Amino acid sequence: MSSAPLKIASDDVREAYKEKKRQLEVEALEGEAQAQAAELGVPYISLGDFPIGVEAIGMIPEARARELKTVCFLATDQDIRLGSLQPESDDVQNLVEELQSERKATVAVYQISEESLKRALAAYKKLPKFVAIKTNYEITDSEFENYQSRVHSFADVAGLLKDVNMTEAFTAILVGGIVSDASDIHIEAEETDVKIRYRIDGILQDAASVPKDFWKKIISRIKVVAKMKINVTNTPQDGRITIQLKGEKIEIRVSSVPTSYGESVVMRLLRGSATAMAFEDLGIRGRAYQDLKREVERPNGMIMTTGPTGSGKTTTLYAILKKLNTPGVKILTMEDPIEYKLAGVNQSQVDAEAGYSFARGLRSLLRQDPDILMIGEVRDLETAEIAIQAALTGHLVVSTLHTNDAAGAIPRFLSMGVKPFLLAPALNAVIGQRLVRRVCEECKEEVALEPAVLERVKEILSSLPEGSEEKAKANDLASVKFVHGRGCAACRSLGYKGRVGIYEIFTMSADIERVILSGKVSEYEMRELAAQGGMISMVQDGLLKAIDGITTVDEVFRVAEEK
């Protein structure tokens, strides 16, 4: 009984000893931080008893605060104060520039200790769940107009980057790509410098070359905005940025991969205006247009678009959906990723990490009572079989397949293991396509073809269907005035501005169905059967567009070649 008070006393002594020891450790850490601050020439603060409000701590997302070992401990309309273990690091300086640009406030960085950081990070637990962290990257109207007025050529982008901070440099690169109608922005580290290139109408154009020390800063800035990990440089990463402009929102898919001289970053610009194209404006003409229009308006079956990456397949699918999007039908899509938002269409995105694949997603979508299904891509047998079953059970299915031309679609399905007796009745039509650049209307002029090139054109067009309007046009090449673009300010001296599709389209026939049911079919045989059925090939369609002055013969031969 008498030993209890002694035990309590000894426990108190131990606790007091531990507390004293901890205080000494904290004082030592604070002393080290204070000494480091003096060495770096930055202010020092202890956050041990500093009251950090939710408005301040919420200024930086928790994951990023832990990654940068940096917190915001004070925020007003005019001043933002940060505490960091590494106040001089490039990543923290990028954060400072970002906050200055977004908040239009003065930002100061203080040296803090590990103990102060630990206490500050605990404040994130006080954040209410409804506090939203800003994810969009905003470019004000004045900023956009300022850069737009200064970008008349690719050389102007290089000039803009010479005398701006990192936030402004990133904005300048983005605006340069937007006003140039680029589909992709490439930032590539080389041995001695960094190249910035824009893909315009399918062709990469050099925009700027900047010093190598620019590299780490711009990559860090991109990663910050795209919600990617700054400290991960040896593995590929993906991110996303939303650019908010006046009257337009641009989604940007960001991809980074390690290379021998640094990470290569590609930003794909997905503009909502791309969904504005109507089915009638795709560039499909004549009998091919009538055939496809008939198949699109059928209540069931499967329509496939084929071609390599960047050939306009997604645009074609969206144009078809736009035509079919009426109040009386329900349209569901399964995409990877969702590139554009379509009003009135229920769009679902593949999530591989969650096990939500094309096949699994399609099964769920079929339980949603759809009339029309769009599948971003048929990649495997399971997805193909579900799509075919849907087409056979009263649904219209539109999708894409990676083959070189329309004739390769059926052999590709069979090589996957699709059963011929299911494929034949399910398939309505196959579209093969490419994109060619349009001649700039502002600097279009006549040009004479070399005799050898003209003979090649005549040979390719000689197999057009007899009696067709296209054949009549090809027979009168002597009076045709071919054109090219000489280059002007409107097209940035490229001679081309915008793109148009060239197509080959075949619909099912008794002969094609019979070959499919045999289970043995080659691309060559399919091409012959489609031609016998009146199909105009992509090259022929392109040359007919060159005859009409829409594109050039050289451009058609660059993009497609006769088989």
Average pLDDT, the chain: 86
11-22: per-residue pLDDT in tens? 666 666 566 666
Write down the pLDDT at residue 209.
Answer: 85
pLDDT in tens, 499-558: 999 999 999 999 999 999 988 888 999 999 999 988 999 999 999 999 999 999 999 999
- Which distant-in-sequence residues (6+ apart) come within 8 Å of 369 by Cβ? 330
**Where are the chain's structural domains?**
25-126, 137-272, 277-559
Contact predicate 109/92, CB 8 Å: yes
Q: What is the mean pLDDT of residues 359-374?
A: 92
> Can you tell me the mean pLDDT for 365-376?
93
Confidence bin at 132 (pLDDT 50/70/90):
very low
Beta-bridge partners for 239:
254
Residue 29 has pLDDT above 70, yes or no: yes
CATH class of 137-272: alpha beta
**Length, in residues, of the chain:** 563
Domain at 25-126: CATH architecture: 2-Layer Sandwich (3.30)
State residue 455's pLDDT score.
92
101 SS3 class: helix
Q: How confident is the model at residue 230 (pLDDT cuts 50, 70, 90)?
A: confident
How far apart, in whole angstroms, are the C-alpha atoms of residue 219 and residue 262?
10
Confidence of residue 465 (pLDDT cuts 50, 70, 90): confident
In the predicted structure, residue 149 carries a pLDDT above the cut 80: no
From the list 380, 375, 387, 293, the residue with the least C-alpha distance to 332 is: 375
In whole angstroms, how far apart are CA 389 and each of 364, 509, 510?
14, 20, 21
pLDDT band at 475 (very low <50, low <70, confident <90, very high): confident
Residue 27 has a pLDDT of 81
Tokens of 189: 């580290």
Q: Is the peptide bond before 337 cis (omega within 30 degrees of 0)?
A: yes
- Rounded Cα–Cα distance for residues 36 and 481 (Å): 76
Assess contact for 527 and 407: CB atoms under 8 A. Answer: yes
CB atoms within 10 A of CB 240: 17
Residue 135's pLDDT is 44
Which of the pair, 138 or 435, is modelled with greater confidence? 435
Query: CATH for 277-559?
Result: 3.40.50.300
Q: Is 455 exposed, middle or buried (0-12, 13-18, 19+ CB in 10 A)?
A: exposed
How would you write 524-535 as a 3-class SS string? HHHHHHHHHCCC
**Angle between helices 114-121 and 3-40 in degrees, nearest 10:** 110
Residue 178: what residue type? I
**Which of the four pLDDT bands, split at 50, 70 and 90, describes residue 129?**
very low
